[in-house]
Amino acid sequence: MTTHTIAPCLWFDRQAEEAVQFYTSIFLDARIDGMLRASVDTPGATTGDPLLVDGTLAGQQYHARNGGAHDRFNDAMSLVVTCQDHAEVDRLWDVLIADGGTPVPCGWLQDTCGVSWQIVPDVLPQMLNEKDRDTSTRVMEAMRPMVRLDIDALQQADHPSA
């Protein structure tokens, strides 16, 4: 049986190397693993420029490609980051929207490169999967108007008498 490795490839106009440097500066267990330079002029890379940058974020391999302005990122594909506490939600949120990123409702954002991220407290899926439908409904209703997710407010909706 053949073992396969599956890794996302993010398509950038010309900023793949800068994006990978930015992302690897944010996360633990992150590094640039390699770079393939264009041997000829291509859309998004002239001869000698980075064409494909390989990296690892939090243990997950990925690729960033300079392919020209052919395609744009959208919310149909997002990177989900689970956070242990509100400080981590705030840190990641602030750094990813700095310098022109865009906040989006329900814990989503787009960074300056246009990549969509979901910054999610790790307690949220458990709250939304409560067997008590009223509880999960309260959590969902509390989350819907939020942009950056607020763990304390979500926990208050999960346990309103607490």
Task: Decide: residue 55, CB within 10 A, 0-12 exposed, 13-18 middle, 19+ buried.
Answer: buried
DSSP alpha helix (H) spans, the chain: 16-26, 86-97, 124-128, 133-143, 151-158
Q: Give this prediction's pTM.
A: 0.89
Q: What is the pLDDT of residues 5-60, one digit of tens each?
A: 899 999 999 999 999 999 999 998 999 999 999 999 999 999 999 999 999 999 99
Domains of the chain listed by start with CATH number: 9-66 (3.30.720.100), 78-158 (3.10.180.10)
Q: Quote the crossing angle between the two packed helices 133-143 and 151-158, to the nearest 10°.
A: 150
C-alpha 2, offset from chain centre: 30
Looking at residue 21, what is its pLDDT?
Answer: 97
